Amino acid sequence: MSWKEDYNRWIKFENLNVEYRTELDKMSENQEALEDAFYKTLEFGTGGMRGEIGPGINRMNIYTIRRATKGLAALITEKGQAEMDRGVAISYDNRHFSRDFAIEAAKVLGTDGIKAYVFEELRPTPQLSFAVRHLNATAGIMITASHNPPEYNGFKVYGDDGAQLVGRDSEALLDLVNAVEDELQVPVKEEEELVEAGLLNFVGQEMDEAYGKQLLSVVKDNDLLKASGEKLNIVFTPLHGASKKPLMESFKNAGFSNISLVEEQAMPDPDFKGVSSANPEDHIAFDRAMAQGEEVGADILIACDPDGDRVGIAAKSSEGKYQVLTGNQTGALLLHYLFSTLKKKNKLPNDAVMIQTIVTSPLGKAIADSFGVEAMDVLTGFKFIAEKIREFEATESKTFLFGYEESYGYLIEPFVRDKDAIQAALLAAEVALYYKTEGKTLFEGLNELYETYGYFYETLRSFVFKGKQGVEVMSSTMEAFRRESLEVEGFSLMLSEDYATGKAYDHISKKEQPIDLPKSNVLKYMMTDGSWVCLRPSGTEPKLKLYFGVNDKTSDSAQKKMENLIEPVLKQLEILQSK
């Protein structure tokens, strides 16, 4: 079916949402905009979907929400009445129509006889993951587009362990969603009718209290917090998102009382009017927190993204100015403190394991090795970390201690099965407090790690490719690198890994070897000196991401090595894209 046929199907639908019809009427003179809204069905991947809000099959709207939820309902129904009765937990963040989409999802489920538990107010992604487990629900839905621009929203699906779906259930869900032929015809009953029938339930305080109680287990040195918790000066911003309530309460419960909230960024706002960026990975997201930090003399600045699963940390550098830590730097500080504290208390398990993604800094592995903790690599995406935790529990083979990815996602205690900014913020505050009681800043603590393990530096370059043409450009670029590999003057290539084929080529032995991870459109190149480059299209944004990593004995030599690595790779990228 052509995009024009789908467009005509929508405008001829008698009961089409009035606002969508008005928008389509406005777009009628813009063929390019119409084509982009209808040229494909909004892709439902292994974890859900994300896209711009608006009318059309390639947009987030009540009809694409109904289509996705209908697929999930079919998956649950196939498993029988017991799973239908367990129900589905649903949460949402501050984005446009998030609550509306949550209710629409609940209405689809209820119409098919499946219970839904919807949060009364917005709550962060990790709390949704927790709720699935606490309620013993069969699945979960989170309405969020994380840190994407305001015009986006999304739909993420969780399994009964509180983790995003992987494996057979993920594949089955994808098939069932794609089997929904007409998103406009998915039946839904009225909200009031479903509430009366006990199929639509609202949750709130009880879930907050249960989650808050579990958060206290993240604290590793209660004596430290009791003695000195009020001494740490914290500035916190939720960047208009869903993390304010749970994090402010958990700070208080843990013993941190000297907290300054960035008020102009505290209230939920779908337009993010008070922030320069809603992504804590962007240093500009900290602009107001930094100004406030200077006013109150803060030791540490904490920013959570809108759905509260990622956290950024800033602290004063040796120059006395606030500097945002990278995700890798924060991860190194957290895991080193965690391992050190457990070892000091003789609580470091012999079978301990730390999990990181293939684009995370090797510094984490170096730290883990020094404590005798196994470091394990998985594909990018926290669902793969959660999958390993589930495997460890089933086999009783290892004890999970820490999981993280370079993009500001961390998990300490597995009562949540997704990255948890609330947990990570609590532990980061504890780490900062520890260093303060030692007469050091957080940055001095980081430099101690570099002096001990070497200077591991990483950076990321992202290239935006929007629309249909952008997808084609990213695809052709990846294929060009597969054909011509990577050549960097001054660096010797040791290993080329192609996760799409599941094969790696050793340039030293001239032999091919398998990659023991699921297939994914990722290319990674490792040099003989430990430097590395990785290319992957983002799974959530229209971006091609290039990751660079180096390490050396000094800061200056590592920085110089990074410069020498980046320039020729970007030049090769430009040449390949021009062919």
* DSSP assignment string, 440-473: --HHHHHHHHHHHH-EEEEEEEEEE--HHHHHHH
- Whether residue 84 sits in one domain with residue 30: yes
Q: What confidence tier does 350 reach under pLDDT thresholds 50, 70, 90? A: very high
Residue 218 lies in a domain: no
Per-position DSSP letters for 376-445, written without gaps between them: EEE-SSHHHHHHHHHHHHHHT--EEEEEEETTTEEESSTTSSS--HHHHHHHHHHHHHHHHHTT--HHHH
Q: Does 400 have pLDDT greater than 90?
A: yes
pLDDT of 77-135, one tens digit each?
999 999 999 999 999 999 999 999 999 999 999 999 999 999 999 999 999 999 999 99
Average pLDDT for the chain:
95
Residue 221 lies in a domain: no
- Whether residue 462 sits in one domain with residue 428: no
Residue 551 lies in a domain: yes
Instruction: State residue 166's pLDDT score.
Output: 82
Q: CB of 337 within 8 A of CB of 437? A: no
- Whether residue 504 sits in one domain with residue 432: no
Give the domain CATH number at 313. Answer: 3.40.120.10
Q: CB of 410 within 8 A of CB of 333? A: no
Instruction: Taking residues 74-79, report their average pLDDT.
Output: 96
- Whether residue 254 sits in one domain with residue 141: no
Bigger pLDDT: 197 vs 168:
197
Give the domain CATH number at 466. Answer: 3.30.310.50
Q: What confidence tier does 278 reach under pLDDT thresholds 50, 70, 90? A: very high
Instruction: State residue 540's pLDDT score.
Output: 65
- Whether residue 147 sits in one domain with residue 16: yes
- Whether residue 387 sits in one domain with residue 311: yes
Residues marked active site are found at 146
In angstroms, the Cα distances linking 244 to 11, 262, 267, 315 are 41, 10, 8, 20
The alpha helices in 39-79, defined as continuous H runs, are 62-78
Q: pTM for this structure?
A: 0.94
- Whether residue 470 sits in one domain with residue 348: no
Q: CB of 207 within 8 A of CB of 119? A: yes
Residue 509 lies in a domain: yes
Q: What percent of the chain has pLDDT over 70?
A: 98
- 232: tokens are 């740490």
- Whether residue 244 sits in one domain with residue 175: no
- Sign of the Cα torsion 246, 249, 255, 258 reads positive
Picking from 453, 480, 509, the residue at the C-terminal end of a domain is 453
Q: Does 1 have pLDDT greater than 80?
A: no
Residue 493 lies in a domain: yes
Map tokens 């010797």 to a residue.
Answer: 492
Q: Does 470 have pLDDT greater than 80?
A: no
- Whether residue 180 sits in one domain with residue 58: yes
Picking from 178, 211, 244, the residue at the C-terminal end of a domain is 211
Instruction: Taking residues 400-412, report their average pLDDT.
Output: 97
Q: CB of 315 within 8 A of CB of 429? A: no
How far apart (Å, rounded) are the C-alpha atoms in residues 317 and 441? Answer: 8
Picking from 453, 468, 490, the residue at the C-terminal end of a domain is 453
- Whether residue 69 sits in one domain with residue 12: yes
pLDDT of 232-268, one tens digit each?
999 999 999 999 999 999 999 999 999 999 999 999 9
Q: Does 565 have pLDDT greater than 90?
A: yes
What residue numbers bound the domain in which 251 lies? 232-453
pLDDT of 524-554, one tens digit each?
999 999 999 999 988 667 789 999 999 999 9
- Whether residue 425 sits in one domain with residue 357: yes
- Whether residue 512 sits in one domain with residue 480: yes
Q: CB of 259 within 8 A of CB of 316? A: no
Q: Could you give the number of structural domains in the chain?
A: 3
Residue 220 lies in a domain: no
Residue 216 lies in a domain: no
How far apart (Å, rounded) are the C-alpha atoms in residues 375 and 230? Answer: 35
Q: Does 468 have pLDDT greater than 80?
A: no
Instruction: State residue 41's pLDDT score.
Output: 92
Q: Measure the CA angle with vertex 532, ends 526 and 537; round to 5°.
A: 105
Q: Where are the beta strands (DSSP E) in 476-564?
A: 493-498, 503-506, 511-514, 523-527, 532-537, 543-552
In 3D space, the residue among 394, 412, 390, 391 whose CA is nearest the CA of residue 403 turns out to be: 412
Q: CB of 258 within 8 A of CB of 233? A: yes
Q: Does 576 have pLDDT greater than 90?
A: no
